[in-house]
Every structure is written in C-alpha cells, then in structure tokens.
C-alpha cells in the first residue's frame, strides 16, 4: 500500500485513470483502493480532488463506451461472453435483463454499485438500442456518483486510511503477503461458490436437434421459455410458454408421469433453465430437460422462431 501512495503521489491522476479504466474494462483489479488513497491525499492537500474525480469519470466512460459499442455490434453474444468470464455468472444474464427491462437506461445510474452488473449493463444498453446520448448522460452521472463515493470515503476517513497504510508499511513484506493472501482467498471463495453452483446444475440435457425432431414428429413436449420479456422479444421457439419465475401457480402439476418438459434460456451453461427444471421436478414433473445451448443453439441451427405473443404460465 505504501507503493500505492508512491504511485499516486508520483503519477497522480494518470495512475487513478489507469486503475479505473482497467477495472471498468473488466479486469479483476479493484479501483476503489486507489480512489480511497486518492481521496485521503486530496484531504491532506497533496492533490486535487476535482482532478481525481474528472479522470475517474473519464476512465469509466471510456471503458463503458467500448462495452456499449460491443453490445451494438455483437448483440446478446457479448453479454453471455461477459457472464461466462465472470466469477459470479449464475443468473448473470437474466439478472441484468430483469433490471434493465424494468428501469431501462436509468439503471446505469446505479450499475456500478451492483456487483457483476456494470459491464453487462453497458453492453446491454448497446444491444437493446439505447441511443448514444441518453447512454452517455446516464453513464456519466452514474460514474460520477460511483467515483465521488470512493473519493469521499477516502477524504472522510483519511486518518484511518493513513493508519492502515502505515501498519502495512511497517509489516513490510508480510504486509504485501497479507494483501495477496486476502485477494487470493476472495477469488478462491468466488471460484468455490461457482463450482458448487455448477454442481447443482448437473442433469441430462436435450439437444436442439432432438427437440426439433420431436416437434416434427407431432409430439407435444411442453416447451418453457424462462428468459425475461425483454429477451423474448427477440423470438422464441414455436409454441413455447413464457414462464414467470416469480409467479408460481399453486396448482402447477405435471399432466402425466410421462409428460416431457423442455426448458430453455439464454445464459451460460443453461443456468436459469436448469434451476427452473429442478423446481419443476420438485412439483411432480418427471421428464424435465434443459435445452442444450438454449435459444442461441436453436437460432444457430437455423430453426424457426416465433415472434407472436404467448400466454404466461
């Protein structure tokens, strides 16, 4: 941490700009420690708080604009890539779609305060066609709030920040080892929760080819779309029932023991579909299968999509 003070003291706004830009671009390197130290230095009169704020906001807007452009060009594919790389990918796409469908571009005001939401939200703004000017306005305000909080905390607790830095400096090499161990423990905890989550999703899948063949043969499996309404506007499998995971009918039961149910989503590892599939099995459905690859695999296979409205379960 003493090194952090030296870097900020020597390179000032350029170092803070770089930290924020790298973090907002998606690297797992937290920028808030740099903002806290910058705020404490500004409180001591060694640097300008206004300059730190400007470069932090600029770093956010540049990185967010890149995700916005990627979203406009590559659509929902960039969202799934982001969630696949995330250590907290369970529900990543669905959570972001739910928040964005409800609040739209104004959700960018608080995006940076919601873990795992910031980069995905900016990409979603591009993929859903949010105009560039509203995006920049909301994103800039949100970035200003986020950076102001970090700098303000450093300013308010400047004495405490200095005390912590002094303790770590006195510890020397052991202080660096402690920081590295804390970061490693944090990442390991996230990775373990991710492993446990994926272990819960292990169950048999059905391929898009098998489902298409069933439909072509006149069989009538119950096909359930668990995506958000925003995602369903892009098309769904013909005959699919739109499913609201937050509204479970009390009388929802399997029509027969051999009834086939196929559940699909648009998220890494069919996470949302597998979770709903397990809940349906708990309600008496015997043959429930997530669709391997979800709606993307169906679309890539060149199979028919339906755009008309469907009833909710």
Domain containing 157 equals 2-171
Per residue in 18-72, pLDDT (tens digit) is 989 988 887 777 788 889 888 888 888 877 889 999 999 999 999 999 999 988 8
- Of 147, 171, 195, the one marking the end of a domain is 171
CATH (domain of 226)? 3.40.250.10
The pTM of the whole model exceeds 0.85 = no
117 and 28 in one domain? yes
Per residue in 303-312, pLDDT (tens digit) is 988 875 544 4
96 and 13 in one domain? yes
119 and 231 in one domain? no
In a domain, 190, yes or no: no
121 and 234 in one domain? no
In a domain, 312, yes or no: no
Query: Which has the higher per-residue pLDDT, 52 or 228?
Result: 52
155 and 21 in one domain? yes
In a domain, 199, yes or no: no
Question: 47-86 b/e with 16+ CB inside 10 Å = b?
Answer: bebeebbbbbbbbbbebbbbbbebbbeebbebbbebbeeb
In a domain, 308, yes or no: no
155 and 14 in one domain? yes
In a domain, 142, yes or no: yes
137 and 229 in one domain? no
In a domain, 282, yes or no: yes
- State the DSSP string of 68-131: HHHHHHHTHHHHHHHHHHSTT-TTHHHHHHHHHHHH-GGGGGTGGGSTTTHHHHHHHHHHTT--
The predicted structure's pLDDT at residue 240? 86
Mean pLDDT of 76-90: 61
Per residue in 115-162, pLDDT (tens digit) is 667 777 888 888 888 999 999 999 999 999 999 999 999 899 888 876
217 and 161 in one domain? no
CB 218 within 8 A of CB 88: no
261 and 116 in one domain? no
Reduced to 3 states (helix: H, G, I; strand: E, B; else coil), residue 4 is helix
275 and 161 in one domain? no
296 and 150 in one domain? no
Per residue in 248-263, pLDDT (tens digit) is 555 556 566 577 889 9
In a domain, 191, yes or no: no
CA torsion through residues 183, 184, 186, 191, sign: positive
Domains contained in the chain, number: 2
H helical segments located in the chain: 2-11, 13-24, 32-43, 49-74, 76-85, 92-103, 118-127, 132-156, 158-171, 173-200, 208-216, 229-232, 271-282, 294-300
Q: Which token pair is 155?
A: 């300013």
- Mean per-residue pLDDT over the chain, rounded: 78
- Rounded distance between C-alpha atoms, residue 149 and residue 161, angstroms: 15
CA torsion through residues 128, 131, 134, 139, sign: positive
In a domain, 79, yes or no: yes
Per residue in 89-109, pLDDT (tens digit) is 545 556 666 677 778 889 899
229 pLDDT tier (thresholds 50, 70, 90): confident
The predicted structure's pLDDT at residue 310? 45
């Amino acid at each position: 941490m003493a090194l952090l003070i030296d870097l900020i003291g020597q390179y000032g706004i350029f170092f803070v700009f770089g930290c924020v830009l790298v973090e907002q671009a998606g690297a797992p390197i937290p920028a808030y420690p740099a903002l806290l130290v910058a705020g404490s230095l500004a409180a001591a009169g060694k640097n300008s708080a206004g300059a730190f704020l400007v470069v932090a906001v600029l770093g956010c807007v540049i990185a967010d604009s890149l995700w916005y452009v990627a979203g406009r060009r590559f659509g929902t594919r960039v969202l799934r890539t982001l969630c696949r790389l995330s250590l907290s990918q369970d529900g990543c796409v669905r959570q972001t779609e739910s928040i964005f469908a409800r609040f739209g571009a104004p959700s960018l005001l608080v995006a940076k305060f919601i873990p795992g939401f910031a980069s995905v939200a900016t990409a979603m703004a591009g993929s859903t066609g949010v105009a560039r000017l509203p995006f920049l306005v909301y994103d800039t305000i949100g970035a200003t709030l986020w950076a102001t909080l970090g700098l303000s905390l450093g300013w308010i607790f400047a004495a405490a920040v200095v005390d912590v830095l002094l303790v770590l400096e006195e510890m020397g090499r052991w202080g660096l080892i402690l920081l590295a161990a804390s970061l490693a423990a944090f990442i390991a905890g996230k990775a373990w929760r991710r492993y446990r989550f994926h272990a819960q999703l292990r169950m048999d899948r059905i391929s898009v080819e098998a489902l298409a063949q069933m439909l072509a043969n006149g069989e009538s499996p119950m096909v359930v779309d668990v995506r958000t309404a925003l995602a369903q506007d892009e098309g769904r499998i013909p005959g699919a029932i739109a499913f609201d995971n937050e509204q479970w009918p009390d009388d929802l039961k399997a029509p027969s023991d051999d009834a086939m149910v196929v559940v699909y989503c648009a998220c890494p590892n069919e996470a949302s579909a597998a979770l709903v599939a397990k809940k349906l099995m708990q309600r008496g459905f015997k043959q429930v299968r997530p669709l391997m690859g979800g709606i993307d695999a169906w679309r890539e296979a060149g199979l028919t999509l339906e755009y008309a409205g469907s009833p909710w379960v």
